[in-house]
Amino acid sequence: MKPSLISFLDELSKQTEYYIVDERVYVMKKYASELGLFKWFLITTSNLAVRKYPFEQDPSKRLRREVGFLQYSKGCFNKPRIILVDYSSNVLIREFVKGDIYSYDAPRVIHHRLGRELGTCHEEGWVLGDSKISNFVYTTDNIYIIDAEQAIREYNDEYAAWDLLVYMSTLTMDGYLKALYNKDIYDEILESVLTGYLNGNTSAKRVFKRLLSLDYKSLIYLLVPFPFNYIFTKKIESYVD
């Protein structure tokens, strides 16, 4: 399968630099980098047609969103420790998280736990906006979120449905060829994610119903590759019947 637009923009728009100080690794994120601005310009512009999430393009506002989430969201995901924030230059320095980038090949228990953590975020009133799988790192004991510059504490079912759709879209694209070869494994992963989400968010079934609305079904068939858009929709339906 050809690289997706999401993965292309993700690679194109790197805003981070890595530094080693006293044998410790730190990440410097520059929100005003030209490539980062280009990515969010494209995403914000393309989002105008569907208007499913209030993406922020302004560097200082994206920095404040991320700092707010890292500091004030308490129950969902582990977060890297903030070392320094420079609001005048729109720069954040945080600790580096050593682990595996979340992917289709992650253990089943990790799929379940990530779904649960996303549900817990929503239960707390937080939504992420940019919930693609490359924004998560896992270790044996923890799941970290390493990019939250679109996160806001303005929960509604519409934004939560968007988070779940972006998450499952990027997860499906990541494992597309393997899923085609073995659809049963895809179904098991999907089951793990959705049962985890149900465990984390008491409003999960409302979010599932939102995903089954006409406008969201259209987005599912656009963003989740065939035939897994159909499988995803049918699995969601099984939870709300």
- Side-chain half-sphere exposure of 156, counting CA atoms within 13 A: 5
Q: What is the DSSP letter of 67?
A: H
pLDDT for 1: 40
- Which class does domain 5-240 fall in? mainly alpha
Question: pLDDT at position 18, please?
Answer: 78
Residues 128 and 62 sit within 8 Å (Cβ to Cβ): no
CA distance 48 to 58: 16
pLDDT at 19: 82
Long-range contacts made by residues 53-62, C-beta under 8 angstroms, separation at least 24?
53/127, 53/129, 53/150, 53/159, 53/162, 54/129, 54/152, 54/154, 55/129, 55/150, 56/149, 56/150, 59/31, 59/32, 59/90, 60/31, 60/87, 60/90, 62/31, 62/149, 62/150
* Of 70, 86, 90, 68, the residue nearest 78 (C-alpha): 70
Cα angle 74, 76, 82 (rounded to 5 degrees) comes to: 60
Looking at residue 75, its pLDDT comes to 87
Find tokens 């530094």 and name the residue.
Answer: 19
**Cross-strand partners of 29:** 16, 92
What single DSSP character describes residue 62? Answer: H
The residue extents of the domains of the chain are 5-240
Contact 156, 54 (CB under 8 A): no
Q: Specify the pLDDT at position 50.
A: 57
The C-alpha atoms of residue 214 and residue 152 are separated, in whole angstroms, by 26
pLDDT at 202: 96
Q: Distance between CA atoms of 15 and 90, rounded to whole angstroms? A: 11
Per-residue confidence (pLDDT) for residue 14, from 0 to 100: 58
**Residue 81 · residue 25 · CB < 8 Å:** no
pLDDT of the residue at 57: 84
What DSSP string runs through 190-207?
HHHHHHHHHHH-TTHHHH
Predicted local distance difference test score (pLDDT) of residue 237? 97
Provide block-wise average pLDDT over 10 residues at a time, the chain (241 residues): 45 67 88 54 48 88 96 94 95 95 97 98 97 95 95 96 95 96 97 98 97 94 94 96 73
Is residue 167 a contact partner of residue 118, using CB atoms and an 8 Å limit? yes
